[in-house]
Amino acid sequence: MLDTRLYHHLVTWLGQWPTGRPLQIVGSDRRTRPAWDGAIRPAIGVGTPDGMLLSVPPQRVEAVRALADLPLRDLLDKLPGAVGFDGWRTYEAVFRYTVTPEALPDAGVWVPADDAGLPDWLRPFGGEVLVARDGDGAYLAGVGIKRHDPHGNELSVGTEPRARGRGLARRLVAQAARRVLDEGAVPTYLHDPANHASAKVAAAAGFPDRGWAAYGVFGP
């Protein structure tokens, strides 16, 4: 049974859920409004072993449906133009979520995203970010939260090269996942299929690979 929080997240994020078709294309006003970081995401999709749902701007539904018979790779190549953003790029990611993160020991503390000494990639998340530092207070690793909606928050993690191999990333991800769950949302985790290190972090933190995928169009 699908977790209620995940169901509401997918309905809110995509405009509809579930899908039992190989490819279902729906229109959603969310694709015309700023996302968590203020940028437009004109196409977002989630695929499962049962099918794929692709969310696009309402006025672009018919143009995207005209691509529906193409192989997935060809559809993704043509998708930016079909949603009115020719020259933008598409991505494909492994989509993971959990309601039972691993009970790993905490590895960081929550600090404001504009706190001194944090890397630039953490700042756009806003609010609080989870940070691990060394004994001298220098940054080692961190997690930011993409607050897509009240029901689903996506975690992003990064570790300084000198701090890798210590298990910090998996502990931070599990710690952040527990906070997201405590706040009433479901934590999600997306990564490139070729990023095996990120896949290992996700699995170790309690985010299994269920054969789900995410797709999207983003700026150049």
Question: What is the pLDDT, as a whole number, of residue 19?
Answer: 85
Question: What is the pLDDT, as a whole number, of residue 220?
Answer: 79
- Verify that 29 and 67 share a domain, yes or no: yes
C-beta of residue 9 within 8 angstroms of C-beta of residue 149: yes
- The range of the structural domain enclosing residue 128 comes to 109-208
- Verify that 53 and 114 share a domain, yes or no: no
- Verify that 23 and 84 share a domain, yes or no: yes
**Total domains present in the chain:** 2
Domain boundary among 48, 71, 96: 96
Q: Over the stretch 176-199, which tens digit does the pLDDT of each residue have?
A: 999 999 999 999 999 999 999 999
- Verify that 123 and 183 share a domain, yes or no: yes
Distance (Å, whole) CA 47 – CA 53: 6
What average pLDDT does the structure give for the chain?
96
Distance (Å, whole) CA 40 – CA 25: 18
- Verify that 77 and 162 share a domain, yes or no: no
Which residue stretches of the chain have pLDDT < 50?
none
- Verify that 137 and 63 share a domain, yes or no: no
CATH number for the domain including 165? 3.40.630.30
Q: Is the peptide bond before 42 cis (omega within 30 degrees of 0)?
A: no
Question: What is the pLDDT, as a whole number, of residue 20?
Answer: 80
Residue 102 lies in a domain: no
